Amino acid sequence: MTTERDTPVAYIARIAEKYAALGYPAYRWVVNETPPPWQPLSKPLSECRLGLIASGGIYVTGQVAFHYKDDTSYRVIPTDIPTAALRATHFAYDLTDARRDVNVVFPLDPLRQLAKKGVIGALAAHAFTFMGGIYSARRVQEELAPQLTERLLAERVEALLLVPV
């Protein structure tokens, strides 16, 4: 049987099956009935300083790598770093392509090009990365998110691109 073209993969159902096969209770996904307050861009994107946060387990060689059990730490990635110095580690996705070219989960090269061309005003001096698959949404909200918010404010970010895997 072939999945119908253009039908997205049903990941919530698939993960429920994986949990059930392991004898775990169903995961309680975060479900927000209403989106957060709307904030339009304050100026054209070509004048905005763009921030970047990615959850694919990206670190710089020399930094401590992420671990796979509810790692709520984050890494600070200078956005002028050569992409050859970036690494990827994660328990839940196939790392083959991310390790061949990190831009598949951490789009630093294209964003640098778009900043140079003036499509975005600038890329913030630092990007922030963490390890996804943190079981407790509460810990993300209470431990990780406030620290990232603080860092983004310090970077004076005006628009933010979030790249999960």
Partner 1 sequence: MTSALDITQAVNPPRAAFVDFPLGHTTGKPHQPDLQRAIMVEALGAFTSLTTPGSVKRLPFRWSADDAWKDTAQRGPDDRRPRYDTPQYQNEEDRLRAETHCDATCVTPMRHPVRQ
The interface with partner 1 within residues 102-131 (CB under 8 A) comprises 103-107, 109-111, 113-114, 119-120, 125-126
The Cα–Cα gap between 94 and 91 comes to: 8
Question: Are 145 and 74 contacting, i.e. CB atoms less than 8 angstroms apart?
Answer: no
Candidates 134, 120, 126, 122; CA nearest to 164 is 134
Nearer to partner 1, 18 or 139 (CB): 18
The Cα–Cα gap between 35 and 66 comes to: 30
- From 23, 25, 36, 82, residue interacting with partner 1 (rule: CB under 8 A): 36
Binding status of residue 84 toward partner 1 by CB under 8 A: no
What letter represents residue 7's amino acid? T
Q: How many residues does the chain have?
A: 165
Binding status of residue 162 toward partner 1 by CB under 8 A: yes
Chain positions 136 to 155 lying near partner 1, rule: CB under 8 A, are: 147, 151, 154-155
Binding status of residue 63 toward partner 1 by CB under 8 A: yes
- In whole angstroms, how close is the CB of 136 to partner 1 at the nearest point? 13
